[in-house]
């Protein structure tokens, strides 16, 4: 009798990547092995994302793929986890009779019991939010973690902001912070497995601390984690500009291993639109935050997220978003056309932007972004950086790829034996999405 194998297909953000790791770790306790492909699995979980409509549609097509496996005679149970599971709940069981299990993000800590019930033949539904007091963050570390170059550690879940376009608060629930001791213990466990690069994650990561004894600040947590011996690189994501403050600036000033890169979504460069989005800051405040961060860490490189075509956005207001990209010196960004999400207030706002206008704005923003990324990568030419090797380059044999501390991807000739090691690399040529380089030595920051 072959052993049971589980395959998790992950969509969406780092929180989902992390939950996937936790599910593998928890199910391993019951003897579940990790399947490398869906074809060898006896259980497939689709860990879904509902942030935009396009992401949500992927559930339907993915279920179709796995239905094909069953038609070809594979004995496999299929479950839907994550944000679409939370949002649609029982409707998924009704719409897809071949789905065995529907589990929202708060079901992850109980995944062993839920899967056991599905294995016994029950169609399982769990979309309850857990009580905030004593929220059971899962301490297990993904058994595969040591094979990866970078690890995630959750420090808080949920979001108490009420951005008018965003479905996250309704599918991920209210903010809960994990105790600093637990976070530090998990980081230490990952570093002991050989990981050098850790990202602290949460939907509103810099809001960490609310509700914990003594109301600690996120900057204090950064200082504790940054002091873990053997940790070369510390990142955190995703932050809200309105919750940046002196404690965090101080951590950037003080910690050499806190990377000089920050993803700080701004969404729009216009104050009227920011207000309509309920973002709780102005363009001017965002620029002040960026200035304070750069004062603390002059080499800081800034990334951001943008939504274009939000209801009411005029051409002049959109132009302010383009201008902000330049003024804040944002060198990497993700940008999206506004997408109506069920249960959010923004669809009721007047003056919807026609889709073709939103499309043109997205193209304009992404064109400017690509120019800026190219200029940034070119500005690195001739300089030497420690590069943490992540794997083979995508297209070239004998070439490996890794990242500089500020997140630039550099390809250079080398061997896969250097995986998870730090090489000193001189950048020789910058491109739009990456740079090329040559190794000039090895670096050990410890």
Residues 398-427 that bind ligand 5AD (CB under 6 A): none
> Toward ligand SF4, which CB reaches closer, 195 or 273?
273
In the bound complex, which residue of the shown chain has the CB atom lying closest to ligand 5AD?
305
> Toward ligand SF4, which CB reaches closer, 44 or 159?
159
Question: Which residue in this structure is represented by tokens 């090489």?
Answer: 423
Q: How many CA atoms within 13 Å lie on the side-chain side of 367?
A: 6
Residues 317-336 that bind ligand 5AD (CB under 6 A): 336
- Closest approach, Cβ 56 to ligand SF4, in A, equals 15
The pair of structure tokens assigned to 37 is: 């492909």
Q: Which does 310 bind (CB under 5 to 8 A by kind): ligand SF4, ligand 5AD, none?
A: none
- CA atoms of 352 and 312, how far apart (whole Å): 6
Phi, psi of 59 (to 5 degrees): -60, -45
SS3 (DSSP) at 267: strand
Phi, psi of 210 (to 5 degrees): -60, 135
DSSP letter for each residue of 278-298? T-S--HHHHHHHHHHHHHH-T
- Closest approach, Cβ 176 to ligand SF4, in A, equals 14
> Toward ligand 5AD, which CB reaches closer, 281 or 336?
336
- Closest approach, Cβ 400 to ligand 5AD, in A, equals 30
- CA atoms of 385 and 363, how far apart (whole Å): 32
Q: Report residue 32 CA to chain centroid gap.
A: 26
- Closest approach, Cβ 336 to ligand 5AD, in A, equals 4
Phi, psi of 133 (to 5 degrees): -70, 130
- Closest approach, Cβ 274 to ligand SF4, in A, equals 12
Question: Which residue in this structure is represented by tokens 């050989």?
Answer: 194
CB atoms near residue 198 (< 10 Å): 24
Q: Which does 438 bind (CB under 5 to 8 A by kind): ligand SF4, ligand 5AD, none?
A: none
Query: In sequence order, what are the beta bridge partners of 436?
Result: 411, 429
Which of the 8 DSSP states describes residue 178?
Answer: P
> Toward ligand 5AD, which CB reaches closer, 79 or 173?
173
Residues 35-54 that bind ligand 5AD (CB under 6 A): 51-52
SS3 (DSSP) at 388: strand
The pair of structure tokens assigned to 194 is: 């050989």
Binding letters toward ligand 5AD, positions 285-314, x by CB under 6 A:
--------------------x-x-------
> Toward ligand SF4, which CB reaches closer, 10 or 238?
238
- Closest approach, Cβ 338 to ligand 5AD, in A, equals 5
CA–CA distance from 144 to each of 5, 166, 247, 430 (Å)?
14, 32, 34, 33
- Closest approach, Cβ 295 to ligand SF4, in A, equals 25
Q: Which does 341 bind (CB under 5 to 8 A by kind): ligand SF4, ligand 5AD, none?
A: ligand 5AD
CA–CA distance from 179 to each of 13, 18, 183, 210, 350 (Å)?
22, 18, 6, 11, 43
- Closest approach, Cβ 244 to ligand SF4, in A, equals 13
- CA atoms of 89 and 275, how far apart (whole Å): 32
Q: Which residues bind ligand SF4 (CB under 6 A)?
A: 159, 161, 163, 166, 168-169, 203-204, 240
- CA atoms of 179 and 296, how far apart (whole Å): 27
One of 81, 206, 339, 369 touching ligand 5AD (CB under 6 A): 339
Q: Which does 52 bind (CB under 5 to 8 A by kind): ligand 5AD, ligand SF4, none?
A: ligand 5AD
- Closest approach, Cβ 300 to ligand 5AD, in A, equals 19
Q: Which does 4 bind (CB under 5 to 8 A by kind): ligand SF4, ligand 5AD, none?
A: none
Binding letters toward ligand 5AD, positions 243-282, x by CB under 6 A:
----------------------x-x---------------
> Toward ligand SF4, which CB reaches closer, 159 or 187?
159
The distance in angstroms from the start CA to the end CA of the chain is 47
Q: Which residues of the chain form contacts with ligand 5AD (CB under 6 A)?
A: 51-52, 165-166, 265, 267, 305, 307, 336, 338-339, 341
């Amino acid at each position: 009798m072959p052993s049971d194998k589980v395959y998790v297909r992950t969509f969406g953000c780092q929180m989902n990547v992390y939950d996937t790791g936790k599910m593998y770790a928890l199910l391993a306790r019951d003897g579940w092995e990790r399947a490398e492909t869906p074809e060898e699995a006896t259980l497939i979980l689709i860990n879904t994302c509902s942030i935009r409509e396009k992401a949500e549609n992927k559930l339907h097509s993915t279920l179709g793929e796995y239905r094909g496996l069953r038609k070809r005679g594979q004995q496999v149970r299929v479950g839907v986890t994550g944000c679409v599971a939370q949002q649609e709940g029982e409707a998924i069981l009704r719409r897809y009779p071949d789905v065995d299990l529907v589990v929202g993000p708060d079901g992850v800590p109980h995944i062993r019991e839920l899967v056991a019930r599905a294995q016994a033949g029950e169609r399982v539904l769990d979309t309850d939010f857990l009580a905030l007091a004593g929220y059971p963050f899962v301490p297990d570390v993904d058994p595969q973690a040591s094979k990866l170059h970078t690890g995630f550690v959750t420090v808080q879940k949920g979001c108490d902001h009420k951005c008018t376009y965003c479905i996250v608060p309704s599918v991920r629930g209210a903010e809960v912070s994990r105790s600093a001791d637990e976070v530090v213990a998990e980081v230490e466990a990952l570093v002991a497995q050989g990981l050098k690069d850790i990202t602290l994650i949460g939907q509103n990561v810099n809001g960490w601390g609310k509700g914990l004894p003594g109301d600690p600040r996120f900057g204090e947590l950064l200082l504790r984690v940054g002091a873990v011996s053997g940790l070369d690189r510390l990142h955190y994501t995703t932050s809200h500009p309105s919750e940046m403050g002196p404690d965090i600036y101080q951590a950037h000033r003080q910690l050499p291993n806190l990377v000089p890169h920050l993803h700080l979504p701004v969404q729009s460069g216009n104050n009227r639109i920011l207000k309509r989005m309920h973002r709780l800051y102005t363009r001017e405040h965002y620029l002040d935050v960026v200035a304070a961060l750069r004062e603390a860490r002059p080499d800081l490189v800034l990334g951001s997220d943008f939504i274009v075509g939000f209801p009411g956005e005029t051409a002049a207001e959109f132009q302010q978003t383009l201008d902000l990209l330049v003024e804040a010196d944002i060198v990497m960004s993700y940008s999206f056309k506004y997408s109506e999400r069920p249960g959010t207030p923004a669809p009721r706002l007047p003056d919807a932007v026609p889709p073709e206008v939103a499309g043109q704005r997205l193209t304009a923003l992404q064109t400017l972004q690509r120019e800026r990324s190219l200029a940034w990568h070119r500005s690195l030419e001739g300089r030497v950086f420690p590069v943490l090797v992540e794997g083979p380059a995508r297209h070239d044999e004998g070439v490996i790829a890794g990242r500089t501390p500020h997140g630039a991807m550099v390809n250079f000739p080398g061997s896969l034996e250097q995986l998870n090691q730090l090489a000193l690399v001189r950048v020789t040529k910058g491109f739009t999405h990456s740079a090329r380089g040559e190794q000039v030595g090895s670096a050990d920051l410890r």
